[in-house]
Amino acid sequence: MARSREFDIDQAVDRAMNLFWRRGYGDTSLPDLLKELSIGSGSFYAAFGSKERLYLRALDRYVTLQHGDLGETLEHSADIRSTVRQILLSLVEADLAEPSRGCLVVNTATQCGEESAATDRVTTAIRHVESLLAGALEQAQARGELSPDKKPADLARFLTTFIQGIRIVGQARVGRAFAENAVETAMTVLD
């Protein structure tokens, strides 16, 4: 008779996500994962199959959380400029608080670039951010907050690219003044 699983899969994925986020894919070993999740190798393989498959699940979880927060913030935007500024500055603050963590999507792009499943997820995540921003910018333009000559899709692509860059700058520990100045300069695209 098969034993029932004695751990919560969702909690395990969250714990693995945080471990991968702190240490990176390559620097997280199977023994590290077993210790973090407090499970044996048999339970690990039965639940996740492999380190790579768990990493992809953890990355999916991270993206779901981040996109949910971003979507909710943009959905409740009363003023697109202040909302975009708030989003960008919150990323700066997150990186100042924990510069070594950065963004798991950016980390995946730089650490797992040869893995097609990881690359596909990174591309999908970036495109989703672009789509969320484009939708919010289109709504802002319809409300008269953006000039009619602005192209929301182009602005969304720029801001998506800027977000990835500001996360890398945060990991490089260039400091608050540098990052905040970059944010203010980026905001001029909405003028």
pLDDT tens series, the chain, 191 aa: 445 456 799 999 999 999 999 999 999 999 999 999 999 999 999 999 999 999 999 999 999 999 999 999 999 999 999 999 999 999 999 999 998 888 999 999 988 867 789 999 999 999 999 999 999 999 999 999 999 999 999 999 999 999 999 999 999 999 999 999 999 999 999 99
- Structural domains counted in the chain: 1
Q: How far apart are CA 178 and CA 147, in angstroms?
A: 28
pLDDT for 7: 78
| Token digits of residue 126 | 């970036």
- Residue ranges making up the domain that contains 82: 62-190
Does 92 map to a domain?
A: yes
**47 domain residue, yes or no:** no
Query: Which CATH number does the domain housing residue 161 bear?
Result: 1.10.357.10
In a domain, 72, yes or no: yes
At 1 the pLDDT is 41
Residue 125 lies in a domain: yes
- Whether 3 is covered by a domain: the verdict is no
Q: Does residue 13 fall inside a structural domain?
A: no
With CA atoms as reference, report the closest residue to 166 among 91, 94, 112, 111: 91
Looking at residue 79, what is its pLDDT?
Answer: 96
Within 10 Å of residue 121's Cβ, how many Cβ atoms? 21
pLDDT given for residue 5 in this prediction:
53
Instruction: Report whether 71 contacts 142 (CB < 8 A).
Output: no
Whether residue 150 is contained in a domain is answered as yes
User: What pTM did the predictor assign?
Assistant: 0.90
